[in-house]
Amino acid sequence: MTTHVLGDTQVLTGRSLRHILRSPDTIITTAVMPIAMLLMFVYVFGGAIDTGPGSGPYVNYLLPGILLITIASGISYTAFRLFQDMQGGIVERFRSMPIARSSVLWAHVLTSLVANLLSLVIVLGVAVLMGFRTEVGVLPWLAVAGILILFTLALTWIAVIPGLTAKSVDGASAFSYPLIFLPFLSSAFVPTATMPGPLRWFAEHQPVTSIVNTIRSLLAGQPVGTDIWIALAWCVGILIVAYLVAAAIYRRKAS
């Protein structure tokens, strides 16, 4: 049974990836907005923003938040592609075939993961050209990659929900706007200590801040403290809840 599911997921993932390879502008478009933000904040606002002593170039401080915005931008395409399959009858056709039902959703999730990783590489490359530097070794980079993958999976399963339930194309992708905006209310662009009381409390207790702080510390070679455990708890918690909700909706629609 497991082999059957894995095989079906592999075939359907290959189908989705071929669609992306035929339209690489999806990945480029996903990276354009984060790159524009990176350029604007570093070259326009960077000189006026004080991130504290020892924080290094502003691009180093800013990059973790931009990477999360890249993911939040990219997962809107997952909802869009799934919505198109639902409305176009492709999912109905798949259900009439002898394939594992769960493989349909997992194919979209894995496609999202690959596409978002490619977008992250593009954004990281631009950041390096802008002066981003780090002297950490392989292990911190692997930890950063693991957190970004976990965050991508969590947001992707959130994207599956509107992909299954939306009534229009705009409705399928509009959910991503609050997710893109959330890093602005965190430590992604400025230290939370500079924010007024209520906003500071929200910024310090929402998931993006702990994730950004963890990635920033890892890339700077600094101790991560408890932030990493808070970040992992947020990512895993969101992933589990989103997966259970999406799976329940899919089962109801497939019955």
Distance CA 63, CA 190 (A): 12
Mean pLDDT value across residues 118-138: 92
CA distances from 9 to 64, 83, 92, 99, 112 (A): 31, 18, 16, 9, 13
Distance CA 11, CA 15 (A): 6
Residue 50, token pair as written in the block: 């004080």
pTM of the model: 0.89
pLDDT, tens only, 155-214: 999 999 988 888 887 777 777 888 888 999 999 998 988 889 899 999 999 999 999 999
Mean pLDDT value across residues 101-124: 85
Can you give the pLDDT at residue 45? 80
CA distances from 86 to 10, 36, 98, 164 (A): 20, 33, 18, 7
Given a cut of 50, is residue 1 above it in pLDDT? no
Residue 96, token pair as written in the block: 């009439």
Mean pLDDT value across residues 208-231: 94
Pick from 228, 230, 229: which is nearest to 207 by CA? 230
Distance CA 158, CA 167 (A): 16
Q: Please list, residue by residue across 47-70, b when 16 or more beta carbons sit within 10 angstroms of its beta carbon and e when fewer do.
A: eeeebeeeeeebbbbbbbbbbbbb
Q: Count Cβ atoms below 10 Å from residue 220 Cβ, excluding itself.
A: 18
Given a cut of 70, is residue 120 above it in pLDDT? yes
39, 159 contact by CB (below 8 A): no
Q: What is the dihedral of CA 11, 14, 16, 22, to 10 degrees?
A: -150
- DSSP character at residue 42: I
